[in-house]
Structure 1
């Protein structure tokens, strides 16, 4: 009976990922994080992008969990 091993052969190393392939995903991740931080931390009052209290109420508990004051 033959066994199949998922381990790489000795002497082989994984190929590094080029920086040019990682950079767009890193930029996307940073932009997404900043947008989420804005909506959780600052989407209310005079800096509001979306009118009304819908976004505020949607992220209300997350705002308290992350330590942002909102009242």
Structure 2
């Protein structure tokens, strides 16, 4: 009859903060750019002329509570 063995839990890898910092900065900047285009583009601070960006993110503006008209 086989004997019962106890399982040894695997050690979780430790990720240094210095390895995560560049990714955190990248995704924070990406979120700010997305927030700008959803909330402010085609308003007082317009980067792209026309209404293409406004129409593309129109529903997202309403969902996030931005007035657009």
User: What TM-score do the two structures reach when normalised by structure 1?
Assistant: 0.81
Q: CA deviation at 1:12?
A: 3.7
RMSD value, Cα: 1.2
Match of 2:65 in 1: 67
Runs of 4+ in 1 over 6 A off after TM superposition: none
Matched, 1:31 2:29: yes
Aligned positions, number:
63
Query: Which structure has the bigger radius of gyration?
Result: 2
Q: Unaligned stretches of 5+ in structure 1?
A: 1-8
CA distance in 1, matches of 2:68, 2:61: 7
| SS of alignment partner, residue 45 of structure 1 | coil
Q: Unaligned stretches of 5+ in structure 2?
A: 1-6
CA distance in 1, matches of 2:32, 2:45: 15
User: What TM-score do the two structures reach when normalised by structure 2?
Assistant: 0.83
CA distance in 1, matches of 2:9, 2:67: 55
| SS of alignment partner, residue 63 of structure 1 | helix
Q: CA deviation at 1:20?
A: 1.1
